Chain A
């Protein structure tokens, strides 16, 4: 029985940029444009559970041999390839045999985004993608192309910026009530200060 991973790889051809990992740690890196189709196909091939959608911010990539800005003498332990862009979106899928209670396959589909433009929503495939995408928008500011009115899920509507981005100031506090903690550094960048879509708190 060929795995979902191998079937997808064969079907998508050049849209699969690379593959790594084995067994339950399999990862396919896809071209961003191929993601919605690949997700639909993965579901048809048996990936009935969307475990997670998450994102990685590669803003602070440091070339090997240069050390980090704060520790110039501290070399990275291994050379990481230069990321093609800043945000990497990760879909973690699982083929669960509910009758047997057995995981038949786990597969992660990754794609590098252009700017903060994400692919189309996966809500029609797995309803739980709704909340996961809202979380990715809230924490990383990734926009899903067909959800212009997406709402935050963890933070409140008045919150400015996306706190898990690497350039979100770590000491920044935005209290809804009460005094600020005084630790707020410089204002957020224009990018960060873009107002969040969605309605105001009533």
Chain B
């Protein structure tokens, strides 16, 4: 394991050596503060994932912040209308770097079946997206898989983020 080369040396028992990049990436991936931008029915599935049955806390991602300035991950959960789009964009811009965006459900990925005058056809037209979780709504397992993919991405990005 490159991340944590445990040096089981007799000289320095209990000392770990690693690269700063790896250490920061590892720390960040287990301390995700999410901003839940919940607009529609996917929110129910987000709640069930966050609660004790599926337990987002295991991933260090259980702590929702309702100020974008304190959040690392923007969870966009539910249909985004063109009227809502400027708000979502502003929330994203208010978040401090490093920051990531998860598109939760097909509505956020592509607009889903709301192929109409009112709905943004995929939030990647407004904000950059790191992980897409398909499903209408996605099952909690899919959400956890998406979260783990995001954690992997955060770890690989190291201290630079992004």
List residues of chain A with CB under 8 Å of any chain B CB.
154-156, 159, 163, 168, 172-179, 181
Q: Mark B94-129, 1 if CB is under 8 A from A, else 0.
A: 000000000000000000000011101100011000
Give which listed residue, A163, A176, A177, A178, contacts B117 with CB less than 8 A: A163
Residues of A within 8 A of B116 (CB): 163
Q: Is the CB of B86 within 8 A of A177?
A: yes
Q: Is the CB of A174 within 8 A of B82?
A: yes
Q: Is the CB of A175 within 8 A of B117?
A: no
Give which listed residue, B89, B118, B121, B125, contacts A155 with CB less than 8 A: B118
14 more A-B contacts (CB under 8 A) besides A174-B82, A174-B117, A178-B120? A154-B83, A154-B118, A155-B117, A155-B118, A173-B117, A175-B82, A176-B83, A177-B82, A177-B85, A177-B125, A178-B85, A178-B126, A179-B125, A181-B121
Residues of B within 8 A of A181 (CB): 121
Residue of B nearest to A180 (CB): B125
A selection of 11 A-B contacts at a CB cut-off of 8 Å is: A154-B118, A155-B82, A155-B118, A163-B118, A172-B117, A175-B85, A177-B82, A177-B85, A177-B89, A179-B125, A181-B121
CA distance A193 to B86 in the complex (A): 23
Residues of A within 8 A of B85 (CB): 175-178
Residues of B within 8 A of A163 (CB): 116-118
Give which listed residue, B89, B117, B120, B125, contacts A168 with CB less than 8 A: B117
Q: Is the CB of A156 within 8 A of B117?
A: no
Q: Is the CB of B125 within 8 A of A178?
A: yes
* 9 shortest interchain CB distances as A-B pairs: A178-B125, A163-B117, A156-B83, A177-B85, A178-B126, A176-B82, A177-B126, A181-B121, A176-B85
Residue of B nearest to A163 (CB): B117
Residues of B within 8 A of A178 (CB): 85, 120, 125-126
Residue of B nearest to A164 (CB): B117
CA distance A168 to B89 in the complex (A): 28
Residues of B within 8 A of A173 (CB): 117, 121
Residues of A within 8 A of B83 (CB): 154-156, 176
Q: Is the CB of B125 within 8 A of A175?
A: yes
Q: In the complex, how many angstroms separate the beta carbon of B33 from the nearest chain A beta carbon?
A: 25
CA distance A177 to B90 in the complex (A): 11
Residues of B within 8 A of A174 (CB): 82, 117
CA distance A163 to B83 in the complex (A): 14
Q: In the complex, how many angstroms separate the beta carbon of A160 from the nearest chain B beta carbon?
A: 11
Residue of A nearest to B88 (CB): A177
Give which listed residue, A154, A176, A179, contacts B86 with CB less than 8 A: A176
Q: In the complex, how many angstroms separate the beta carbon of A151 from the nearest chain B beta carbon?
A: 13
